[in-house]
Every structure is written in structure tokens, then in C-alpha cells.
Amino acid sequence: METIPLFKVYVSSDVDKPLLETIHSGWLGEGPRVQEFEKNLKEYTGNPQLITLNAGTSALHLAYHLALHQHDYKGYANSNEDEVITTPITCTATNTPIISNGAKIVWADVDPLTGSISPRDIANKITKHTKAVTMVHWGGNPCDIDAINAIAAEAKIKTVEDGAHSMGMEYKGKKIGNHSDYTMISLQAIKHITSADGGLLFLKSEKDFKRANLLKWYGIDRTIREGIDLRCEVDVPEAGYKFHMNDVCAVIGNENFKHVDAILSKHRENAEFYNKAFAHIPTITVVPQNPDGKSSYWLYTIHVTNRDELMGILKEKGIMASKVHARNDTHSMFAQFKTHLPGVEQFNATHLCIPVGWWVTPQQREYIAENVIKYAK
């Protein structure tokens, strides 16, 4: 029996020809393919202040750099008092760039069912050292973005959205990328849309947008100017990174991106099927979706008391299920920030993700629902 995977890489056959052309074009770095991809993404999201990068993690690193180092930054201090409020219910990549940027992590609790960061706990944890707050849209289910942005605006701190799971997510009628100071979407291999590896960063302020465009490539201004050799003659005021996207990744991303609506529809249809199937099953609690938004359903998450046992049974039945991310505040690298988080404890004890993506057929989703209902406790 073939296992129904929890994740699957989507690569359209549309990619083949333009990818070959790009590989042999004599231009592999950031060039026309990146520009074309960015143009399409800007039209789709409605936000022209977007940059493509080599990973979602790089987008987060840049976002924290901008939020924490408001002026030209000459190197890592690593001893400052800056704090970022964030959630441990996520991939470690949400949080490692905070400590790499020299700041301290302050964990906020999450809603025990949705896993979304609690606006009330954010408000409780703001201090004079807080510089930013990060929200993660678990599986593409929007957090209380407006409530968090209102708290942040009052405290004069920045907001970061980790939308790694959230390509095409909507909140209050607008697509992701239009609500907060910094928003990341991941284009890593198993996401809705992949560029093999890559990430998007949306920026609210023009100043940040201009600065991010420099920082993504060593801090050097790539604008072509008559008589100036950009590698040798332009002053570099601030140390940047090598985070830009290249044309090979961009052509893969751009051709896959043409199918974004069809892919999202399949995820949402499968989720709708499960919502109905599990609606009256007392042993299964489905993660409630934010009524102000439209989830991208990268994950379909339920809570069951026998999570680990159910995961094992489903594996035997040829269904891959997983926690996907477990709380990451327990890692040694974060030990100094440990605190009591009852919502995190509860979410982390019972959550389970089942296959929901574009590859799951109507017969497969019926088989999955049947088995989950039969063995959930």
C-alpha cells in the first residue's frame, strides 16, 4: 500500500522549458526572471513593496534586522537588551534569527486550540525593551492580526508575520502581505508554491523597503548607473547579506505560481470535507478558523487525546500524520527564555495534522476521515 503523504512537492510541467532556457541563458543570478516573478506576486497580493529572497528564514532575518536595528548597523552587539515577543508553536526558523540578531526572546502563550499567539499575553509581556512581536499563522489560519497590530502601534513596536504556511491566505478581505510591518511567505520545497527554496518579504514602510533591497545583497546598491562599477565604486553604508533570489529559483517559482489558485482551491475543498466529516465527532476537536479570514489550509489540524497512538495507527493504515512543529522553547539554545505557557502545553499535547493538500483525492480523504474517526479517542 502506498502511503498518503502529508506533504508533496508541486512542480508544474510548465517549468521544464523556461527552466532549461534560463539555465543556458548565460544569466543565473538575480535578473529578468526575478523581476518577472516579483511583478506577478505584486499584482496578486496588491503590495508593490515586496522582495524575493533565497529562503523564508532569510526574510525573517531581514525583518528582525530592520525592526531591531533602526539605523545603519555595523555588526552584531549580542549584548543588548532588545526583546522580541514570539511564539514557540512554530518552526525553529521563526525564532533563531531573533537570537542571531542579538535580541532576547520573550515567549507569549498561545490559544490552546488554534495555536495562535495570544494578543492578551503579548500586551502583558511588553516592556521598555520590546522592539517587535511575531505572529505565526499556523497552517495558514490567520492570527488576530488587527488586535496584535493595535497593541504594537500603541507600544510603538514593529510587527512581524511569519506566513511560511500562508501563501494566498486572506484577512479582512485582503491577501497576506498587506497588514503588518514585515510579512514573510516561504517558497521552500513543500509549500503551496515552491521556487525550490525561497522566501518573500513584504514591507510596509518605503524606508524599510529601500533598506531591505540593499541588505539582501551585501548592502550594495545594484542600480545600474552610467560610469559606476557597482562592485568597486559605491560606498556600502551598512553590512548586508547574500539573501537575494536567483533566476533559476525565480523561474521555477514563477511557473508554479501560475497554478496558485487551483492549488489553494484543492487544499480548501479537502479541508471543507473534513470540517463536515468531523463536525459531530466527540473525540475530535477541529482547530477553529479565524472568521475574519480565509485560511490557506497548508495544514489541517485536529486535537485528539490519543495523538501519538493515533499517529501510529494512521501510519499502519498508510496515512502520514504528524505534529509538524512541536514547541521549540524547550531547545537548549532557548533555555534562558523559559517560562510557564499553559496554552502552549495544551496545544502541544494533542495537536495532529492530517493530509489535506492538492494531491489528496476524494477517495483518499474519505479513507483518511474514516480512519481518524474510527481510532480517535
- The binding site for ligand PLP (CB under 6 A) comprises 55-57, 90-91, 93-94, 136, 162, 164-165, 186, 188, 199
Distance CA 340, CA 333 (A): 17
Long-range contacts of 99-102 (CB under 8 A, 24+ apart): 99/333, 99/334, 100/61, 100/76, 101/61, 101/64, 101/65, 101/68, 101/69, 101/76, 102/68, 102/76, 102/77, 102/78
> Of 57 and 301, which CB lies nearer to ligand PLP in the complex structure?
57
> Of 90 and 141, which CB lies nearer to ligand PLP in the complex structure?
90
Least separation in angstroms between CB 111 and ligand PLP: 16
Give me 285's grid cell: 476537536
Least separation in angstroms between CB 118 and ligand PLP: 17
Distance CA 104, CA 125 (A): 13
> Of 55 and 110, which CB lies nearer to ligand PLP in the complex structure?
55
> Of 55 and 133, which CB lies nearer to ligand PLP in the complex structure?
55
137 closest CA partner among 145, 127, 129:
145
> Of 164 and 314, which CB lies nearer to ligand PLP in the complex structure?
164
Least separation in angstroms between CB 20 and ligand PLP: 25
Least separation in angstroms between CB 343 and ligand PLP: 17
Least separation in angstroms between CB 58 and ligand PLP: 7
> Of 62 and 376, which CB lies nearer to ligand PLP in the complex structure?
62
Distance CA 154, CA 233 (A): 43
Distance CA 173, CA 371 (A): 36
Distance CA 376, CA 305 (A): 8
- DSSP letters spanning 62-114: HHHHHHH--S---S---S---EEEE-SSS-GGGTHHHHHTTPEEEE--B-TTT
> Of 167 and 264, which CB lies nearer to ligand PLP in the complex structure?
167
- Residue in the shown chain whose Cβ atom is closest to ligand PLP: 56
Determine how many CB atoms are found less than 10 A away from the CB of residue 362.
10
b/e for 205-228, b at 16 or more Cβ within 10 A?
eeebbebbbbbbbbbebeeeeeee
> Of 15 and 193, which CB lies nearer to ligand PLP in the complex structure?
193
Distance CA 93, CA 162 (A): 10
Least separation in angstroms between CB 305 and ligand PLP: 25
Least separation in angstroms between CB 94 and ligand PLP: 5
Least separation in angstroms between CB 2 and ligand PLP: 25
Phi, psi (5° rounding) for residue 351? -80, 145
